[in-house]
Amino acid sequence: MFKDLLNSKEFYEDLCQGVETAYGKLLRYGPRLLRSQYLDLGLSHLQDDLVSATVTKLWDTKCSGFDPSKSLFTTWFVTVGRRVASNERRRQECNRKMLLRMYEQTSIDSNKHLKEKSGESPLRTLVRRAHHSLSDDDRLVLDMRFVENLEFDVISESLGIKESAARMRVSRALQRLENAIEGMADFELPQRVNRSKRRHPRGTMQTPHNHQPQTDTV
């Protein structure tokens, strides 16, 4: 069983010595250990990115924070992985709140037919452009929810749909707003998980930041 392998003394020693194949195994088995954590946090769609971020974090420290006398390695790995995922969740919520504040003002300005101000921030300009790129239906449900501050039961009654459908429409419209902003941005929003374009091949570990593997034992 893969947990027996990950909890073995030999595997931990390989991690401490920076053996790439050991970290490659973490990339391979990490999703199985952390899947329930990501489901709980609503981050299943970022599973590959979060596992890579977790393993890279452990590579950088050579697992120096793990104490074999206190817990199994797999238990500690799940704790670290959930912490990485929780930090990403907080960053996303922070980004979303900021975008919604700007969306609210952008929508109000648009309804008043105000022109863009020359001193407008780059992010505010992006939100405005993304707002205009949305469909009428998306702008409608976002305005009802975040500008008029209507509850979902009121939105569902106004649109003649179920409340669950109203929640889904708002969620999808908000996601399209975020995607539009990211697609237009030529700079990064507040820091997110550093996503690699492709996961490392199964069983191998690409040395982060082009560092050479270390052989000293922690």
**What's the mean pLDDT in 54-61?**
93
pLDDT for the residue numbered 194: 45
pLDDT for the residue numbered 89: 84
The tokens describing 161, both together, are 């749909």
Return the C-alpha torsion angle 177, 183, 187, 188, nearest 10.
Answer: 60
Select, from the ranges 56-70, 113-127, 203-217, the one with the highest average predicted confidence (pLDDT): 56-70
CB 6 within 8 A of CB 58: no
What does the domain layout of the chain look like in residue ranges? Answer: 2-89, 91-184
Mean pLDDT across the chain, nearest whole number?
A: 78
Dump pLDDT digits (tens) for 89-115.
888 777 677 777 766 666 555 544 444
Using CA atoms, how far apart are residues 28 and 46, in angstroms rounded to an integer?
15
- Predicted confidence (pLDDT) at residue 169 exceeds the cutoff of 80: yes
Q: Which CATH number fits domain 91-184: 1.10.3720.10, 1.20.120.1200, 1.10.10.10, 3.40.50.720?
A: 1.10.10.10
